[in-house]
Amino acid sequence: MNLDLMIELLVPIGVCVVLPIMVVWMVMRNRQNETNRKAEIMLKAIESGSNVDLSALNTEPVKKVKTVKQQLLGRLTGACVTSLLGVAMIVASLFTSKDPSFFLFDAEDMGGMVMMGSILIAIGIALFIVYFVGKKMLSKEIEAEEKALREDR
């Protein structure tokens, strides 16, 4: 078997199969080690006769709750990114010359790039609309959350 062919086959298999498995294994191993450390601490506390706080054994990760403002800013970020990607795709397809040596992409792909760029711009515009409408509709909730955050400090 040719070495280039073998590398050509092993790299995608490694990236698509082995890498995700290793990431999941490392996360699970980290959680297991964390649980074991907490259990050891609790056992030593029980052996020494001190009061034990069972809430320390809670191994479920604390979910971070996003505020309304953070959610809206996430939509604004998505709108900017998709719009800029769409504009970049259209500009890239328009600025390729007729000289085949200058083509960055195949001439047949130009229509697809313009179409994909247009779709991305449309998604970006929709996300901008969602951001501005949501900002207007949820202004009272945003103010209440900001007030509650200021009071907690």
| pLDDT values of the chain reduced to their tens digit, one per residue, 153 residues | 688 888 888 888 888 888 899 999 999 999 899 888 888 888 888 888 877 766 656 656 667 778 888 889 999 999 999 999 999 988 887 776 555 555 555 556 677 788 899 999 999 999 999 999 999 999 999 888 888 888 877
Note the pTM of the prediction, 2 decimals. 0.55
Of the candidates 56, 60, 28, which has an alpha carbon nearest to the alpha carbon of residue 41?
A: 56
Cα(19)–Cα(25) distance, integer angstroms: 10
Q: What is the DSSP letter of 95?
A: T
| CB 134 within 8 Å of CB 142 | no
Domain ranges for the chain? 3-57, 68-152
Residue/partner pairs of 59-63 with CB below 8 Å, 24 or more apart:
59/31, 59/34, 59/35
- CA distances to 68, 98, 126 from 75, rounded to whole Å, are 11, 38, 10
The token pair at 59 is 């191994």
Question: H helices within the chain, ranges in order?
Answer: 3-13, 19-48, 68-94, 109-137, 139-152
